[in-house]
Structure 1
Amino acid sequence: QVATPMELYNNPIDLEAADFIGNPRINLVPGKAEMKDGQLVVKSELGGHTFPAEHLTKEQKPSSGEFDCVLAMRPEQILISREPVEGALPVTVYASQPAGSETIVTLKAGEDEFLSKELGQAHYDIDQKVWAIIDQDKINVYNKETTRLIKRAV
């Protein structure tokens, strides 16, 4: 991929580039997608999301029926709340790793695990229930079969 550093970081063109760039590594969560009325409708352990046509790439997508996809989010774009927040995803803490100036928290939604990165030192108990706040606009979606980006982060 030839792009500016920010474009490469925010919108890697395929899963290989997405997985290569960033520390800690990007979260990759399996899902199912379908095109409906020009929009991309995605379901995964992170819930359901509908992405408008203007956020989609020109990459070919199946015009009918469900297909496998991969949702990708950077750990620093996932916020954690200790209290319920409207629209947030209830999750449990699987692990918490203090790393000096930041804390890496492994969260679990259903069978899928993903990372959140918080600045500063934070303490979470294993199996603690928390809420993950994920900005839908920051999610990249890839076609699992082609590994190509089909929904850009905006």
Structure 2
Amino acid sequence: MATLELRNVNKSYGSGLVDTLKNIEISIDSGEFLILVGPSGCGKSTLMNCIAGLENISGGAILVDDQDISGMSPKDRDIAMVFQSYALYPTMTVKDNIAFGLKMRKMAPADIDTEVARVAKLLQIEHLLGRKPGQLSGGQQQRVAMGRALARRPKIYLFDEPLSNLDAKLRVEMRTEIKLMHQRLKTTTVYVTHDQIEAMTLGDKVAVMKDGIIQQFGTPKQIYNDPANLFVASFIGSPPMNFIPLRLQRRDGQLLALLDSGQARCELPLGAMEAGFEDREVILGIRPEQILLATAESRNQSSIRAEVEVIEPTGPDTLVFVELNQTKVCCRMAPDDAPQVGQTLELQFDPGKVLLFDAKTGERLLPGKSRATEDKVARLKIG
């Protein structure tokens, strides 16, 4: 196990004309599981290749256990990588694929056999050791690729979208296997994916990337509940967060968000704020599970009537769609509470769960923050 720190890492191509990675700052403790997540082309695989030494960085430093490894060759970094394509040798048996790296290190044959047996038992592939990759399923090949990395016992494991070639059911199974493996071995791991479900379920820490920039770095819970900007809020969560455009108004020192369903209006109180936010165009963000059915006891000025336009049963819950401020809004409900299309519901917003984003920059808003500093990320204190 080892700590990993990226200090102001940059990567440019063409004499600095194309910046692929920009000022990357990440630090994880020994044994932590880091997820690099983002859309295609965001730079996450490039960053992993830089950690592995497959690509050189243009600036900054990569440190393992406080030692700068930026100038080291891949073989000297003591890092093992599992590729998206598995990269197994087709003419070798499973046993020989797992043992290949150990043989290159000139380990004693008896020790190699012991290590292969250990890894095969861990991954439950003992019965496959005599087969070749062409005789294996996708999930079995993935286990072999993982076994080859595990057999080296490196300081850090790197996984580059290892589940992307598997079908949906097998992906869920292998995701669980990877999590169990990490819980048993407590190995420092960096895992690249574009799947936000993998990011939320696997990671101790998550770095959300876009255009070569870390948009937010934190725990899955922090990123889900306290997104730094509109991009993070929209990328993390399934179904995604609702975004409702509106203008803020002020009355009696209280800031209000105005919602209109076509058949009713409500003024959602957001608490006291300093001047400068009224009449401002913002995006109100709220998760589908945070919009509740109002009851006779809970009905108040935060409640609004709206007509159900679409319902989507998913099994464990039902997604109910209404329209607010001429925008489709998703509400997540228990199946037993699901209404019918055309039915009018009275919905309730918890002001403490509401997030506000600047409509132009996409950044989170903070009371009292000047327009000159709106590029900085901060949390809106509500209520």
Q: TM > 0.5 between the two? A: yes
Aligned AA (2:220): P
* CA distance in 2 between partners of 1:84 and 1:96 (Å): 26
Note the alpha carbon deviations across 1:74-112, whole angstroms, 9 max, x for none: 001112358796222101101111111111111223523
* CA distance in 1 between partners of 2:249 and 2:267 (Å): 11
The alpha carbon displacement at 1:152 in A equals 5.1
**Equivalent residues in 2 for 1:114-129 (5 A)?**
114-129=329-344
The change in CA–CA distance for 1:76 and 1:153 in structure 2 (over 3 A counts) is farther
1:8 aligns with 2:227: no
Is the contact between residue 248 and residue 277 of structure 2 (CA under 8 Å) also seen in structure 1?
no
The change in CA–CA distance for 1:98 and 1:122 in structure 2 (over 3 A counts) is farther
User: Between Structure 1 and Structure 2, which shows a larger proportion of strand residues?
Assistant: 1
Q: Which residue does the alignment assign to 2:270?
A: 51
Bigger Rg over Cα: 2
* CA distance in 2 between partners of 1:81 and 1:49 (Å): 14
1:72 aligns with 2:285: yes
Instruction: Give 3-state SS (helix, strand or coil) of 1:17's partner.
Output: helix
1:26 aligns with 2:213: no
Q: Which residue does the alignment assign to 1:109?
A: 324
Instruction: Give 3-state SS (helix, strand or coil) of 1:72's partner.
Output: strand
The alpha carbon displacement at 1:39 in A equals 5.4
* CA distance in 2 between partners of 1:64 and 1:48 (Å): 15
Q: What is the Cα-based RMSD across aligned positions, in Å?
A: 2.9
* CA distance in 2 between partners of 1:90 and 1:32 (Å): 20
Identity value in percent: 24
* CA distance in 1 between partners of 2:360 and 2:252 (Å): 22
User: Between Structure 1 and Structure 2, which shows a larger proportion of helix residues?
Assistant: 2
The alpha carbon displacement at 1:153 in A equals 6.8
The change in CA–CA distance for 1:107 and 1:63 in structure 2 (over 3 A counts) is same
The change in CA–CA distance for 1:49 and 1:84 in structure 2 (over 3 A counts) is same
Q: Which has the higher relative contact order, 1 or 2, with Cα contacts under 8 A spaced 6 or more apart? A: 1
* CA distance in 1 between partners of 2:337 and 2:298 (Å): 19
Instruction: Give 3-state SS (helix, strand or coil) of 1:22's partner.
Output: coil
The change in CA–CA distance for 1:105 and 1:149 in structure 2 (over 3 A counts) is same
- Gaps of at least 5 residues in structure 2 are 1-215, 366-379
Is the contact between residue 247 and residue 278 of structure 2 (CA under 8 Å) also seen in structure 1?
no
Aligned AA (2:235): F
Instruction: Give 3-state SS (helix, strand or coil) of 2:308's partner.
Output: strand
Is the contact between residue 82 and residue 129 of structure 1 (CA under 8 Å) also seen in structure 2?
no
* CA distance in 1 between partners of 2:222 and 2:278 (Å): 30
* CA distance in 2 between partners of 1:32 and 1:72 (Å): 13
- Gaps of at least 5 residues in structure 1 are none
